[in-house]
Structure 1
Amino acid sequence: MKFGIDRPEGLHDTPREVLNWKLFWSTAVFGLLGASRGLDEGLVGGMVSLQSFKDEFHLNAGSATHQASVLSNITSMVQLGSIVGAFLAFFLCDRLGRIRTLQTLCLLWLVGFIIVVVSHGNVPQILAGRFIAGLGIGMTTVVGPMYIAEVAPRSVRGMLTNIFAGSVYLGATIAFFSNWRASVNLSNNSRWQWVAPQFAHIGFAAFFLVLSFTIPETPRYYTIQGKHEMAEKALGNLRNLDTSHPYIQAEIIGIRNQLEREQEASRGVSRWGKLRELLLIPANRYRLMLGVMSQVLGQWSGANSITIYATQFFGVVGKSGESEKLFASCILGIVKMVSAYLCAFFLIDFIGRRRSLYMGISLQTISLMYIAIYLGVVGSETLASGKMTPSQHQGAVGSIAMIYLSGVGWTMGWNSFQYLVNADIWPLRLRALGSSLVMCLHFLNQFGNTKAVPDMLLALQSYGFFAFSAAVSLISLIWVWFFVPELAGRSLESTDSLFSLPWYQVGRQGHKLAPDTDTLQIHEHEKDASAIEAQHMEHAR
């Protein structure tokens, strides 16, 4: 297997004008939406660890089981709202378009956190506010990658989609630093210690609402609506090319042909036809399997739990003092953010989806196994007492390093793939429905994971939790090897032939048996245009 880094496949076929500021501005706005998830994952973990929040909402009252239940309810409520929001995005994206959906989710996100900051110790109110905000945050995971996939040239689709994945940890880093500075500079007796960091949500939601009025709708949405002239004009504007250019014509023809094939196949079906189409056609079932398994395996590999409960986990492996644990979380946020963007810009489109996934899951597995073994050998009582031998202390430092390394593996592997899979696999007619269902499952798993982790730490102890996550990662490597096809550099429309192969050939041999034919179409259009131009010149002479 070749691991050398080359230019992204298809980049040599991409005219220079295509990679322009209009494209990068539009994809940056939708890409930065990923910060919404990261903000919440980072803020809520630190928020519930702050003494001011514990006192206001009485988190230290009752039995250990009761405390774990209240804690998990508050932390997981955004995930619960996001399940509904991700499904709601399916209806809004197809009915209102990608831009109007963005504006709707920003309003929900904004209103939800206004309710949170004025809750004043009322647990049902903070749960309601976080649920409403979750509706908007859940929609970001559908509309963000969808928009980018529909406007990005195939040669850099992976890189641009991963702006969204990287932005999750931009948001988490901002959140971690906000919590840390609040714990240092604001009094434990002031509710502003936990309220002030929450204004990051309000600021980001308002920011994206304003920016939504500066970006265009996608050509593929116009095509679905039958507005073909607007679709052609929008694509020419995004690509910075005349609509008669061979590159534009080849892309437009590919979009229209796929939509016509889909409409012909589904003509006369009921309103539930799309769902039946998704479940009954083998190619679509394989697509759905890829989306479902990537969410199940990725979410239960433990990485998101470590982000949400970072302060608790740093305490488990030897950090003491609230400020010290929050600062260690800040470093984790920086590590994940930097590695996510490095992977997006220098890895995903260069060595491919499969190889990045192999490398990332392998790093994650090694890290989790080390931590599980260390915690099992040393024991939680020794760590809690702080009375460790020099070798045990060195092992604790190694465990902290492994938490950081697992973050690198996560951003290189599952974090990128869980969004790329939705961007890469779906046909145009099913993109909104398929993406919504997969992201509903994403948040359902995250909700269950967030709810379960406090109880898992009580039942399995810390070493058991990390051993469980390592086992999931090992299973993931086998699944990737057999089922995940390489989609780097392919056009969205070319995946039909790939997923039409027998299921046992898609992952291992699909790239060879069903190559991308859209490149050939572009070359044919370019040859035809060159021939016509030569004839005109000959006639002029």
Structure 2
Amino acid sequence: MAGGVKKPVNIFKLKNLDEPKGVFNWRLWFAVVSFGLLGAARGVDEGLINGAFNSKVFQHSIGYENYNETEQANIKANVSAMVQVGSVAGALLAFLVCDRIGRIWATRQLCVLWILGIAIFMGHGNNLSAVYAGRFIAGLGVGQTPVVGPVYIAEIAPASVRGLCTCIFTGAVYLGIVLAYFTNYGAQVNIGDATPNRWLVPTSLHIIFAGLIFMLTFFQSESPRFLIKQGKHEEALKTMSHIRQLPPDHEYVVREIAEIRAAHEEEMEATMGSSKIGVLKEMFLIPNNAYRLYLALTVQLLSQWSGAGSITLYAPDLFALLGIEGTTESLLASGVFGVVKLVSALGCALFLVDVIGRKRALLIGITLQAIAVIYIAGFLTATPELGTVDDYVLPHYKLGPSRGAIAMIYISGVGWALGWNSMQYLLTAELFPLRIRAVSTSLAMTLHFANQYGNARAVPVLLLPLRSGGITPAGTFWFFSAITLLGGAWVWFFVPETGGRTLESMNRLFELPWHQIGRRGNDDADRLDMVIDEKQADMLGGAAEHVDDAREKRVSKEAHA
């Protein structure tokens, strides 16, 4: 092989792309973990807010007991979902700051917003309006995390392990959830409801994570792809060399930078350096970009309304609904639920997403999720008193099915971690060309948080009895079941396999007519990989000559020394 590049053996990869062994180094993994921790922003909030809200001290401070059942459901939904409201605006803001000030400074400013919002929330817990305002501001920061984190990781990761690297972000979501659940549990056991510390101590976990991520950014380098987009080619080469731990004149580094430059220049030439309005036209009017946007947006829609996010957010309430008695017990069950999701996400990252491919992992996850929510819906249909009759006690003969429904909550978490939750970030981060990557990801994440808000806002009301304006717990889970099945069919027909491809070669997946991409796109792209664009071939040829010249000069200099 040219240049003496060795082919490393790696069981975590779908394809071996002849990457030098040295590219999988500590700098890469340190950067991946640093930006992957941004995923904890969502996880910490989802895991904390329900437990914090259920604290008697917090409820008393906002006068919760003075409202009727429907008003209480609406207040709970508003407090829980206000971060998602802010996140909608944050996701829209993300592409502006991400493309203007870069991935590093975008991360720093979102951490500042995140800390500021949580500080307001913690400092004014006795004022419902201030609670809403603080959580909204925190959402402005949190909403940027699924844009900045996955985009940066996808842009620095070698193609063969890009799925694994991006799924570190997903794993951090569950790390945040696990720590949040067990922090709530520990506060309930050791502090109790007698003091404000019951909800203030767990909530401080937000500030710990935001502060840690902020500090880690000072040890990281800017994305080479962003630098090329800014015209800083020499800096991009040095940065890529630093991240890959290879000399700047190494064949692999030079080839990688040349491919990025060629793809970017091709995009610029095709669009003639058009304005911001031109970027939007590229997104919606160029057919293969429009199809990618369709995939990214539909993933957000179907994943959020499959119900798994709501199960995470309201896990203590759902465990109590299905038969686990007591606040402490439901919090402990929620903590175990978080551990199950974390282990599943790590398993997906290590052994599935880059080994069997994105699409197969997604279909396996959706299948598990569908089995779980259909079982829960059936159990709740057979036990209509749950959630509709106050102080209802399960008869002895239904305890077994109740335990089965509780187990299915865990199985739904496994399915969600293997499927939708990984792909809603991974596919969105890797589908788009460099020129429209940030704005397209931002738009997809805006829809993500809009749907997450709608789901989080609606579920407490949907779970209410018919007399109170809900559709009952059984009706809610049948709704989730229908969306999950619809999502599985959609993935089978429309989503192509993106694993094992460089970001610059992703365009080849979308050369077929739209109705054939999901079923034949990957095979067709593999054939197109054999044909290199003439302009890119010229650039790569020049890059190879540069490598030879640089190598000769270096050897001559070393010999002279």
TM-score range, shorter chain: over 0.9
8 Å CA contact retained: 1:336, 1:411 = yes
For residue 351 of structure 1, give the secondary structure of its aligned residue in structure 2: coil
- 1:226 matched residue in structure 2: 231
8 Å CA contact retained: 2:380, 2:386 = no
Q: What is the 5 A alignment of 1:96-175?
A: 96-175=101-180
- 2:431 matched residue in structure 1: 425
Distance of 1:433 and 1:388 partners within structure 2: 51
2:252 matches 1:247: yes
The counterpart of 2:450, out of the listed 444, 447, 453, is 444
Deviation at 1:500, TM superposition (A): 2.9
8 Å CA contact retained: 1:56, 1:191 = no
8 Å CA contact retained: 1:82, 1:443 = yes
The counterpart of 2:498, out of the listed 479, 487, 490, is 487
8 Å CA contact retained: 1:59, 1:71 = no
What percentage of aligned pairs have identical amino acids? 45
Deviation at 1:387, TM superposition (A): 3.5
2:332 matches 1:307: no
Distance of 1:335 and 1:181 partners within structure 2: 19
2:505 matches 1:500: no
2:384 matches 1:373: no
Deviation at 1:61, TM superposition (A): 2.1
The Cα offsets for residues 217-254 of structure 1, whole Å up to 9 and x where unpaired, read as: 01001100000000111111111111222211221121
2:279 matches 1:274: yes
Give the residue type in structure 2 aligned to 1:158: G
Distance of 1:262 and 1:527 partners within structure 2: 20
Deviation at 1:173, TM superposition (A): 0.5
> Could you tell me the TM-score, scaled by structure 1's length?
0.94
- 2:472 matched residue in structure 1: 461
Distance of 1:148 and 1:520 partners within structure 2: 28
The Cα offsets for residues 22-76 of structure 1, whole Å up to 9 and x where unpaired, read as: 1111111001110110000010011111212111112232221111111111111
8 Å CA contact retained: 1:97, 1:221 = yes
Structure 1 residue ranges (4+ consecutive) displaced by more than 6 angstroms after TM superposition:
516-529
Distance of 2:385 and 2:259 partners within structure 1: 59
- 2:24 matched residue in structure 1: 19
Give the residue type in structure 1 aligned to 2:331: L
Give the residue type in structure 2 aligned to 1:509: R
Give the residue type in structure 1 aligned to 2:118: F
Deviation at 1:385, TM superposition (A): 4.2
Q: 1:518 to 1:17 in 2, by over 3 A?
A: farther
Deviation at 1:520, TM superposition (A): 8.5
The Cα offsets for residues 68-119 of structure 1, whole Å up to 9 and x where unpaired, read as: 1111111111000001111111000111000000000010011111111111
For residue 32 of structure 1, give the secondary structure of its aligned residue in structure 2: helix
- 1:515 matched residue in structure 2: 526
- 1:388 matched residue in structure 2: 394
Deviation at 1:120, TM superposition (A): 3.6
Q: What is the 5 A alignment of 1:56-135?
A: 56-135=61-140
- 1:263 matched residue in structure 2: 268
2:297 matches 1:292: yes
Q: Which one is further off, 385-394 or 43-52? A: 385-394
Total equivalences in the alignment:
532
Give the residue type in structure 1 aligned to 2:119: I
- 2:414 matched residue in structure 1: 408
Give the residue type in structure 2 aligned to 1:472: I
Give the residue type in structure 1 aligned to 2:526: P
Give the residue type in structure 2 aligned to 1:380: E
For residue 500 of structure 2, give the secondary structure of its aligned residue in structure 1: coil
For residue 9 of structure 1, give the secondary structure of its aligned residue in structure 2: coil
For residue 401 of structure 1, give the secondary structure of its aligned residue in structure 2: helix
For residue 60 of structure 1, give the secondary structure of its aligned residue in structure 2: helix
> Could you tell me the TM-score, scaled by structure 2's length?
0.91
Q: Which one is further off, 154-163 or 458-467? A: 458-467
8 Å CA contact retained: 1:10, 1:519 = no
- 1:52 matched residue in structure 2: 57
Q: Which one is further off, 132-141 or 376-385? A: 376-385
For residue 64 of structure 2, give the secondary structure of its aligned residue in structure 1: coil
Distance of 1:209 and 1:11 partners within structure 2: 35
8 Å CA contact retained: 1:90, 1:432 = yes
Deviation at 1:528, TM superposition (A): 6.5
For residue 143 of structure 2, give the secondary structure of its aligned residue in structure 1: helix
8 Å CA contact retained: 2:304, 2:448 = yes
The counterpart of 2:353, out of the listed 348, 364, 368, is 348
8 Å CA contact retained: 2:12, 2:161 = no
